[in-house]
Amino acid sequence: MYLSAEKKQEIFEKYGKSNSDTGSPESQIALFSFRISHLTEHLKSNRKDYSTEHALRKMVGKRRSLLDYLKKKDISRYRAIIAELGIRK
């Protein structure tokens, strides 16, 4: 599997408040970003995998919702996570 429990813990530790902080918007956004990049690479070689494309679109929408929430609540945390993950160009 591409996303092991250790990799999840590493993401939560880096972007969350602790390694058990799975609910903060920053840690969820980071996890979605990792999964989105993995599915994007998969779709580059499997162009007709429409179920994965559908899942990718849903994931991007969920990440967008979390980013909107964070932007509304705390603009400085929003800007920090955007810069750290390199989402906006």
pTM of the predicted model as reported, rounded to 2 decimal places? 0.92
> What confidence tens digit (pLDDT) does each residue in 71-83 have?
999 999 999 999 9
Distance CA 13, CA 75 (A): 22
Name the token pair of 23.
């609910």
> How many structural domains comprise the chain?
1
**Domain limits for position 70:** 24-85
Specify if 74 maps to a domain: yes
CATH label of the domain that carries residue 74: 1.10.287.10
- Average pLDDT of the chain is 93
Specify if 77 maps to a domain: yes
